Amino acid sequence: MNIRTTLGCIAFLLILGAAKPVDAADKQAKERGVYDAVELTDKDYHLIETSAEMHDQFQRRGLRHSDRELEAWLQEVGNRLIPETTDFYQKYRFYLIRDPSPNAFALPDGQIYVHTGLISRLQNEAQLATLLAHEINHVAGHHGVLAYRSQKKKAAAGIFFSIAGAAAGGWGDLAGLMINYGLVTSIFGYSRDLEQEADVKGYELMLNAGYDVREMPMLFEILGEDFEGLHPRSKGKWSTHPDLILRGEYTSELAAGTPDEQLAELSLGDDDFRSRVRPVAVETVRDYILDDYPKSALELAQDLVEEDPEYAAGWVAAGHSYISLGARSEFADDKPLTDKEKRKQVKIRSKFTRDELQAQATQSPEAKTNIEDNLAAAEKAYLRALELDQSAVEAHAGLGEIYLRQEKYRDSARELMTYLKLRPEAPDRSIVMDDLRDISQKLKIEAGE
């Protein structure tokens, strides 16, 4: 088990024990189904101040996504859902975090963050509303404050999380920040009761805003997908909560209990939802590749081209994904891995560097065939992208890379030069120039010069 998985498991166990509400008045309010205002102590107020500072920290670290238009639209969707605010410190603001893990979280002062890796997978606005309504209820229900009151004296847990978070690196970046600042439950999830409460009350918010509540269980289905067959992307509550199936079941029951005449008035929301989030999905494919999750990348890219076969950027993303598979097969193994085998795989991942893992993959008996198949599929995807859109210049770079690997040096040089001609300021220009120099040498050798 790698450090991230360990973190997730231990965090969950600790949170289950730590994050129970302690205040009797709060409990009564919850039982009445109404959230009363919660007066903050001086110490509680530090949590709110810290939450406010987190925003600057996310900005400083470049974690917040730069698409302000999409964020403004997220705010519009959120505004339709937010209930009457009971406390002055709750100001609902919705942001996008560039992080491919499927997660979302809310800070106690009303900041709600959706990861690009989650919004990319959603099929419609109603599913997004399900997600936002859930997070809104964590804020409205003061879940962060309640959890903080309970956990603030748990020094050992805090230190453990801090050190583990720092050690996790990469994926631990966001998690590490939250952990350090007493906001651990925001990202790792609250107790089972509070999560269920946020779901059930989310149903009410969905109905009030006119969103189709039959989409609620779909969210959990999407989150239950494990493209890598390893469950390695498991730090967030949306991806690790042990009751995804259970949550799907009770939200299905809620939807089934909704009168037909009411259901008939509900909608899936904006018809353009997918076209709004598609560019973010393309970025997410790249982020999966960067993090060495090629199967997740390919699944998302394939979804993009299935939903719109004319979307050239989707084909380019598919091409990149096939290349990133390297010697690994696109197809899942016939026999799914057992939990023990998955844990072993995750341990192996944490032991070796990216380059070493890829080198190991080339030692398998199927490696040669897999490489050939992946490069062929990538070529097909890039060529399709160029058929659809001549300005899909990255397809030329991709083709150049494929032909270089296939030792078709002239073809590779042609594609790489086309790429640089069409995009002279390409960020990877120096790398492409190095490749062209190598190709030139190889062609000279071939020509016997």
CB of 283 to another protein, least distance (A): 9
**3-state SS assignment for residue 447:** coil
User: What are φ and ψ of residue 96, in 5° steps?
Assistant: -115, 130
Q: Compare residues 137 and 186 and give the one whose CB is closer to another protein.
A: 186
CA dist., res. 384 & res. 390, Å (int):
10
Minimal distance in Å, beta carbon 182 to another protein?
Answer: 4
* Least distance to another protein, CB of residue 288, Å: 11
Residues that bind another protein (CB under 8 A): 3, 43, 46-47, 49-50, 53-54, 56-57, 59-63, 66, 98, 148, 151-155, 157-159, 162-163, 165-170, 172-173, 176-177, 180-182, 290-292, 350-356, 427-431
Please say which residue, 172 or 398, places its beta carbon nearer to another protein: 172
d(CA 111, CA 177): 15
Cβ density class 289-312: b for 16+ within 10 Å, e for less: bebbbbbbbbbbbbbbbeeeeebb
Q: Which is nearer to another protein, 302 or 350 (CB)?
A: 350
> With respect to another protein, which residue has the nearer C-beta, 47 or 209?
47
Smallest distance from the beta carbon of 351 to another protein, in angstroms? 7
CB of 167: closest distance to another protein in angstroms? Answer: 6
Q: How far is the CB of 2 from another protein (least distance, A)?
A: 9
Give 54 or 392: the residue with its C-beta nearer to another protein: 54
Contact 303, 285 (CB under 8 A): no
**Would you say 407 and 341 are in contact if contact means Cβ atoms under 8 Å apart?**
no
Least distance to another protein from the beta carbon of 61, Å? 7
Q: Exposed/middle/buried for 60, CB within 10 Å: 0-12, 13-18, 19+?
A: exposed
Task: Kindly state the smallest distance separating residue 355's Cβ from another protein, in Å.
Answer: 6
CA distance 322 to 290: 13
Smallest gap, in angstroms, from Cβ of residue 196 to another protein?
25
Nearer to another protein, 80 or 405 (CB): 405
The answer for 107, left when phi > 0, alpha when psi is -120 to 50, beta otherwise, is beta
For 408-439, b where at least 16 C-beta lie within 10 A, e where not — what string? Answer: ebeebbebbebbbeebeebeeeeebeebbeeb
Nearer to another protein, 44 or 415 (CB): 44
Question: For the stretch 239-277, what's the b/e string if a residue is b when 16 or more beta carbons lie within 10 angstroms of its beta carbon?
Answer: bbbeebeebbebbbebbeebeeeeeeebebbbeebbebb
Tokens of residue 294, six digits:
């090629």
Q: Which is nearer to another protein, 14 or 216 (CB)?
A: 14
- How far apart are CB 144 and another protein at their closest, in Å? 12
Strand order in the sheet with 93-97: 93-97, 111-115, 104-106
294 touches 321 (CB < 8 A): yes
Cβ closer to another protein: 49 or 249? 49
SS3 label, residue 112 = strand
- Residue number with CB closer to another protein (137 or 150): 150
In this structure, what is the dihedral angle of CA atoms 434, 438, 439, 445, given to the nearest 10 degrees? 160
DSSP 182: T
- Closest Cα partner for 432 from 393, 386, 406? 393
Residues for the chain: how many in total?
449
